[in-house]
Amino acid sequence: MNHQVIKLIRSIGFPDIKNHCEPVENEELYQLAFKNKVALLYLDALTRNGSLKFLNEYYLKNILRYNTLFDDIKQLTPALDVSGLKYALIKTFRYYPENPNDIDILILEDYTDKLKKLDTELSKIGYLKYTRGNNKYNFGKVGKIGYWDYKRDKYNLKAGDQYIFFDLDFYLEIMVEEFIHGNKYNFSEYVTLKRFYNNYSDKYIEAKVLTPGAELFYLFFHSIFPTRTIGLELFFSSLYLLKDFSQDDFNAFYKLSYKFHLKNEVMICMAHLQNLYRQAFDENNEKLQFLIASLGRKYKRIMANDINYPYIFPLFIFIWAGIKSAFHKKGIISLIFVLLKCVNPFYAYNIISEILSKKLTFNRYKSKFTQI
């Protein structure tokens, strides 16, 4: 394993660990933290230890963006509530200070005229729909039926603000391109109103999010397919979510792993996380071990010590996970639709290159925003 990964984990530390925490201020470690989407967490750990010096400029910029996240969501939630949509914010809040790429919203109902009302409400707070889809060969379908992207009105932005404000990503389905690989209604019973505090500004907001058990599963699910990677973002998110897990949360995680047919893939994720934890802190994480035991499975593969992170799942696991999680009506129909469209050689080439290319996998994992 890359020794810098372990060095970064030990620099950040974890509240339950008293030993093996060795905060080190280092430009290379910061770049690794930024790549793994734990930059603010790393800088915050240095600050608490009194070790932050020459990286202070990065720290202030990350805090500025974190404060903007709270300001944006404070404006966003009333607009969502007025539209009347059933929704939950996903992959947006961590249980530690960190900036997401963007604000992700999962719509938990079928397509309705409420989306037109949403356009109007979002325009009032400075967001305009960005209609171009992800896949240039998708003939515009993604932007119309499954994925809406809203960006700040460019005329309201100052120079450089595009790296501070957050895009809004609305998922009308859990999908990649035109492939609906997840049944969003499996998450409907796990929506809760939670209060989040911002220690940098002494403010708080309330937002509809998934319960901890469902949120953790969604992070695992997203890492397996379509992201295809395990990184330190998933490592620390898992530790902080598990820290206060209730029995209901364990039950929700187990139930969702079963419903999405991903118990084995989830086990692989947890084996990697436990391996990272053990190498960094010389012990197993008890909550993670309990979660593994709750699935009733044992992952027997011995984890190598030379694995680099972000870790990329083998191709067969990635493809099989996508197919298994699509075992529902919309998923099967969308898979057939994509296969039929593959008669177009340009479309087929684009889809295959997306699946086979590790370079594109890394590009998907990277932050959308340039270094701040």
Percent of the chain scoring above 70 in pLDDT:
83
Helix residue spans in the chain (DSSP H): 3-12, 27-35, 39-49, 56-83, 114-124, 141-145, 212-222, 232-243, 247-259, 263-281, 286-294, 315-324, 329-341, 345-356, 358-365
Local confidence band at 136 (pLDDT 50, 70, 90 cut-offs): very low
Q: Which pLDDT score is estimated for 362?
A: 58
Is residue 101 very low, low, confident or very high in pLDDT (cuts 50, 70, 90)? confident
- State the average pLDDT over residues 171-182: 85
Contact criterion met (CB below 8 Å) for 250 and 104:
no
The 10s digit of each residue's pLDDT in 269-317 is 998 999 999 988 888 999 898 888 877 666 555 455 567 777 888 888 9
